[in-house]
Amino acid sequence: MRIGMVAKVDLEEAVELASKIINFLEEKEVEIVIDQSLALKLNKSQDRAVKLKDMEADVVVAVGGDGTILRTQSYISPKKIPLFGINMGTVGFLTEIDSENAFEALEEFLAGNYFVEKRTQLRVWHNNELPSALNEVVLMTRKPAKMLHIQIEVDDEIVEELRADGLIIATPSGSTAYSMSAGGPIVDPRVGAFIIVPICPFKLGARPTVVANESQIRVKLLKEGKKAIAVIDGQFEEEINYMDEIIFQKSEYCAYFVRFTKNFYRKVREKLIQGGIN
């Protein structure tokens, strides 16, 4: 067993918990590799430190929130390394384990009492292939209070042409993130679908659309002189120009998560209350 260790290094509580987990795993005689930025923060020997994109492990323990999970996944993809997420954030839909239960869950994991869940990712092209998205891709303007003029095609059929503040293309994993806040539906991760959600559209008939994840989605900018930014999982930005197309399709590579329970709907209820929606 070889375990990779990642943490949100600008959150002291996450770094402290990561340090305790490293000590715990060392006592269990588990081989550990540490993300370089975390190793520097902990003043750990650099012989076990690696860049996240070079990490090779049987599982990666990520201490932080969903942002930490998304950042980690963006670097380790397309390797089939399961993520063991420990939540130190506000909501944490992608992380199953709370910090107070971390060591109990690690004991269960080391005993083999877990399963691995697959999550669909979104493949993205613009001139060339961009990083895949686990949650969503958001198209928005660089300038506040400006709208984009967008054409949306699904499988070569025009679905909508509209003006809006932006557009979200989300996976089921991302349906409980920005997509939900913009009025999109909550979608069970087992459903084979993608969600197209206009952000504040200037058109009464423009509504969120759920499409099959075998579809190809094309989005084109129709207004000359207006540029957009495509933000992938909050981690990567790409500038989109007039008449450019950005293309979305199901990725052949999935994300993998260590799970102990099948509790999606309970998590939705609990997390939305914690998020202030009650």
* Segment holding 108, helix H or strand E: helix 102-110
Are 72 and 189 contained in the same domain? no
pLDDT over 70 (residue 275):
no
Average pLDDT along the chain: 92
Question: CATH number of the domain that 102 lies in?
Answer: 3.40.50.10330
Are 48 and 127 contained in the same domain? no
Question: CATH number of the domain that 203 lies in?
Answer: 2.60.200.30
Are 74 and 160 contained in the same domain? no
Are 127 and 104 contained in the same domain? no
**Tens digits of residue pLDDT in 117-169:** 999 999 999 999 999 999 999 999 887 778 999 999 999 999 999 999 999 99
Are 200 and 267 contained in the same domain? no
Residues 115, 60: Cα–Cα separation, whole Å = 15
The pTM of the full predicted model, rounded to 2 decimals, is: 0.91
Are 145 and 233 contained in the same domain? yes
Are 232 and 203 contained in the same domain? yes
What's the mean pLDDT in 180-194? Answer: 95
Are 262 and 241 contained in the same domain? no
**Tens digits of residue pLDDT in 12-23:** 999 999 999 999
Are 182 and 202 contained in the same domain? yes
pLDDT for position 273: 67
Could you tell me what percent of the chain has a pLDDT over 90? 82
Catalytic residue (choose from 10, 54, 66, 155): 66
Considering only 181-185, 217-221, 267-271, which range has the smallest mean pLDDT?
Answer: 267-271
Burial class, 175, CB count within 10 angstroms (exposed 0-12 / middle 13-18 / buried 19+): buried
Q: Is 156 a catalytic residue?
A: no
Are 134 and 169 contained in the same domain? yes
pLDDT for position 278: 43
pLDDT over 60 (residue 3):
yes
Are 49 and 100 contained in the same domain? yes
Q: How many domains does the chain have?
A: 2
Give the closest residue to 112 by CA, choosing from 254, 257, 258, 264. Answer: 258
Structure confidence at residue 277 as a pLDDT band (50, 70, 90): very low
**DSSP letter (8 states) at residue 48:** G
Domain range for residue 173?
Answer: 122-250
pLDDT over 50 (residue 184):
yes
pLDDT for position 170: 98
What's the mean pLDDT in 174-183? Answer: 94
Are 163 and 72 contained in the same domain? no
Yes or no: say if 221 and 229 are a contact pair by the CB < 8 Å rule.
Answer: no
